[in-house]
């Protein structure tokens, strides 16, 4: 509480950091906090630095210096949530297949890959399922490979995760069975008393299912993003308003399971690694309202409409594939001039197929 009042009055992250450094030093001398001396001082210093960044972002958000949604004040992590400890150079070393951590000892992890260079820091992560991971920060050199295609536009969706401008489609894994199990266990958890062994057992079961979904999604997104980036020189995505979409209570859960933002982040990072061009077009581009062949604008379509025929050129389009082609054209700067053709109170497109037709 005293730190909070100090932060509110001084509004200085440097003062907060200095105060906490002193608090940690003094706390080690007390009986209640003497266990702080049993661990390395490096993770303690890193946690203080992270807290300083959190307060800086919080105050910048209050003053309007930080873009986006207003942030809340920093809060303590729960013991049952994910925990982490970061070690810098001097607090760890790698000896063969083992990793030495200061005041912990040698740890022999299962290596997922060979480190490309000497790491500058390592983070020990414990997730909700009580699994432990080591995450290293290393420098990598850009990989120079030839791309098969010049550019690729991608339209993201729910049933079909990604529709490419070249006609390819990527189906999302089915999370529905695991999601139903999570809902059932969450109802069971709500009726169990806090602090009981049964509640903790149920919590771990829920964490395992969440991790299974997250691992399946991460594996799918990594494989897809690697394929997309390695085969194309330019990758174009649409800037989706995910925070606005999840306000639709009927689609919120399905949208949250897809991982659109994670896919965008992976594509952007891998584009830098492979020397590719990554571009995100505006969310206001009418990609689903324009014919990708002639540029005729037929206007908004309902979500149930999955195929449409342009009455100007007669081309029949799959809705998502047409949007992907338009995303590709806008991203590469070769989009049609949609202003030259406007609706004048007449039908501009013929609905060919709706989502209800697919079920019959």
**What phi, psi does 311 have (nearest 5°)?**
-80, -5
**What phi, psi does 149 have (nearest 5°)?**
-120, 155
Residue whose token pair is 């000497």:
118
Q: Which two tokens stand for residue 128?
A: 């909700």
Collapsing DSSP states into helix, strand and coil, what is residue 69? coil
**Element holding 330 (H helix, E strand):** helix 319-332
Catalytic residue among 238, 239, 316, 321: 238
Is residue 43 within 8 Å of residue 86, measured between CB atoms?
A: yes
Q: What is the rounded distance in angstroms from the CA atom of residue 293 to the CA atom of residue 111?
A: 50
Other Cβ atoms less than 10 A from the Cβ of 118: the count is 10
127 catalytic per annotation: no
Nearest to 300 by CA among 341, 348, 232, 238: 348
Q: What is the rounded distance in angstroms from the CA atom of residue 68 to the CA atom of residue 57?
A: 11
Count of residues in the chain: 360
Strands of the sheet containing 169-171, edge to edge, are 169-171, 160-164, 149-156, 232-238, 277-281
238 catalytic per annotation: yes
Catalytic residue among 127, 155, 268, 357: 155
**What phi, psi does 92 have (nearest 5°)?**
-155, 165
Catalytic residue among 38, 293, 320, 337: 320
Give the residue numbers marked as catalytic. 155, 238, 320
């Amino acid at each position: 509480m005293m730190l909070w009042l100090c932060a509110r009055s001084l509004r200085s992250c440097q003062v907060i950091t200095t105060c906490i450094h002193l608090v940690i030093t003094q706390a080690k001398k007390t009986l209640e906090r003497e266990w702080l001396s049993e661990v390395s001082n490096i993770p303690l210093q890193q946690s203080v630095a992270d807290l300083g960044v959190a307060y800086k972002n919080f105050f910048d958000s209050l003053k309007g210096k930080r873009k986006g949604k207003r942030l809340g004040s920093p809060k303590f992590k729960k013991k049952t949530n994910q925990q982490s400890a970061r070690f810098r150079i001097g607090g760890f070393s790698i000896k063969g297949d083992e990793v030495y951590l200061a005041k912990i000892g040698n740890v022999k992890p299962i290596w997922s890959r060979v480190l490309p260079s000497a790491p500058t820091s390592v983070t020990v992560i414990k997730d909700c399922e009580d699994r432990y991971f080591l995450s290293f920060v290393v420098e990598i050199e850009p990989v120079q490979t030839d791309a098969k295609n010049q550019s690729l536009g991608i339209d993201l969706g729910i049933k079909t995760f990604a529709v490419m401008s070249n006609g390819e489609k990527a189906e999302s894994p089915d999370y529905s069975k695991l999601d139903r199990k999570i809902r059932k266990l969450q109802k069971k958890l709500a009726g169990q008393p806090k602090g009981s062994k049964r509640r903790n057992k149920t919590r771990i079961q829920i964490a395992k299912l969440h991790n299974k979904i997250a691992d399946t999604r991460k594996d799918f997104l990594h494989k897809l993003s690697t394929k997309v980036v390695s085969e194309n020189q330019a990758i174009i995505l649409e800037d989706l308003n995910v925070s606005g979409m999840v306000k639709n209570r009927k689609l919120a859960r399905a949208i949250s399971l897809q991982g659109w933002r994670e896919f965008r982040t992976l594509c952007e990072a891998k584009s830098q690694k492979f020397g590719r061009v990554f571009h995100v077009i505006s969310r206001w581009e009418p990609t689903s309202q324009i014919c990708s062949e002639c540029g005729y604008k037929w206007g908004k379509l309902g979500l149930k409409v999955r195929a449409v025929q342009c009455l100007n050129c007669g081309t029949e389009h799959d809705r998502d594939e047409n949007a992907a082609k338009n995303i590709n054209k806008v991203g590469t700067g070769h989009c049609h001039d949609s202003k030259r053709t406007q609706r004048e109170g007449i039908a501009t497109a013929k609905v060919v197929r709706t989502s209800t037709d697919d079920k019959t």
